[in-house]
Structure 1
């Protein structure tokens, strides 16, 4: 059971929020979070890098000069890997980098990563009604009142997006906005501060504790 202070739009403490997430045992927590992080970063690789071998490079079918008598080293093709414009030895080819991880393990890693950041977690009330129109300056000021300074990398987790909040947040350099049901380990570990609404916290417990 973890308790966090809830702040309103003005940055004042207005209550407490409790949440209970099942996390990994202390001796295995680092290992499972690391596995989830490696999986996420590896699976984001496109794997489309491709080079041509000497068999695929255009040309090089004729022997450049005769085998003996010229005084030069013997050569069979101008597309040898030793030549400029030749093929590549052991170069990259398109491949699939994806790693597999069970869904239960992935969710356990997400819960563990979130609880591990409890000291940097800022719980706030719903503020959709506070932004009557898109206003980046007002959102940045609110984040500063909550304790997430503009120079900090901040992750803002909402139960659902509204257009005004999205348009206000998209231009802020160090701010990333994600919905509560699309958490990922990298963003939670990369952020300096995690700002989450009370309703998003409820949704996380509903989705990831199931």
Structure 2
């Protein structure tokens, strides 16, 4: 017994690993590998990579605001509704002027018109009527929703930039080759700075691809398309149209100037 105890006492014990420290180091290495989401690949019209381009921070570095994006999406879809559905009430349905049968003595339920809602071919109760589904939303909230959606696309690595669409004639094969070279295999929203007939004709036969101008960028198109393909000239337009406006701040110096001006007038 004594020998066994001595052997156990002299046997070196293995050092226990520190899982917390290992997990922290692993997370740190993973964080170092992640590139800046604002640096996105830049391609030419042939699909060859030309390096990276920096996205505007004021647009693509916005904190994602999910409730505002949802509100903007619901607003846009509701504003697209016609609201022309209509049903006839008892006042508008034709016929039914005379009482169908006498009040008493038949053993049947009492009815005053064959156009009652309970009768076949009668009116509709609580049916839809023409109305407006339009919703209003402040401009700054709409811009915030758009910046949030664009920032989410950039964070997920779903944004690519094209340095001009040098397509001389409309060919679907050129558009297919460009999408394959870029690596987009799902629905894509192509954003142009200005109308381009050749580019639009080249992409219009491809399913799941939509062409939109930079000034018409909207939350619904960003939600319904997986990837975002931007022309390089669109970056400046997007920054001009959808950036957060800078509010002038009144400093103490301005207040002092007003006081001095008032003192001079009093003298």
| TM score, norm. by length of structure 1 | 0.92
Structure 1 runs (4+) deviating above 6 angstroms are none
In 1, Cα distance between the equivalents of 2:105 and 2:203?
74
Q: Is the 8 A contact 2:194 2:213 kept in 1?
A: yes
Deviations 1:40-86 (A, max 9, x none): 11111111100000111000010000000112111100001011110
Q: Is the 8 A contact 2:90 2:124 kept in 1?
A: yes
In 2, Cα distance between the equivalents of 1:183 and 1:4?
19
Partner of 2:158: 120
Q: Is the 8 A contact 1:24 1:109 kept in 2?
A: no
1:37-116 matches, within 5 Å, as 37-116=73-152
List gaps (5 residues or longer) in structure 1.
none
Partner of 1:166: 200
Measured after TM superposition, the shift of residue 24 of structure 1 is 5.1
Q: State which of 68, 77, 81 in structure 2 corresponds to 1:32.
A: 68
| TM score, norm. by length of structure 2 | 0.73
Q: Is the 8 A contact 1:20 1:205 kept in 2?
A: no
Rg (Cα) greater in structure: 2
Partner of 1:200: 234
Deviations 1:96-128 (A, max 9, x none): 11111001110111111111101111111101x
Confirm whether residue 179 of structure 1 aligns to residue 216 of structure 2.
no
SS at match of 2:211: strand
Partner of 1:140: 176
Q: Which moved more, 1:14-23 or 1:133-142?
A: 14-23
In 2, Cα distance between the equivalents of 1:100 and 1:63?
48
In 1, Cα distance between the equivalents of 2:203 and 2:177?
12
In 1, Cα distance between the equivalents of 2:222 and 2:235?
14
Partner of 1:11: 47
Q: Is the 8 A contact 1:153 1:193 kept in 2?
A: yes
SS at match of 2:161: strand
In 2, Cα distance between the equivalents of 1:146 and 1:33?
28
List gaps (5 residues or longer) in structure 2.
1-36, 246-267
In 1, Cα distance between the equivalents of 2:78 and 2:123?
28
Q: Which has the higher contact order (CA 8 A, sep 6+)?
A: 1
Q: Structure 1 residues 170 and 207, CA, compared in 2 at 3 Å: closer, same or farther?
A: same
Q: How many residues align?
A: 204
In 2, Cα distance between the equivalents of 1:25 and 1:122?
20
Which one has the bigger strand percentage?
Answer: 1
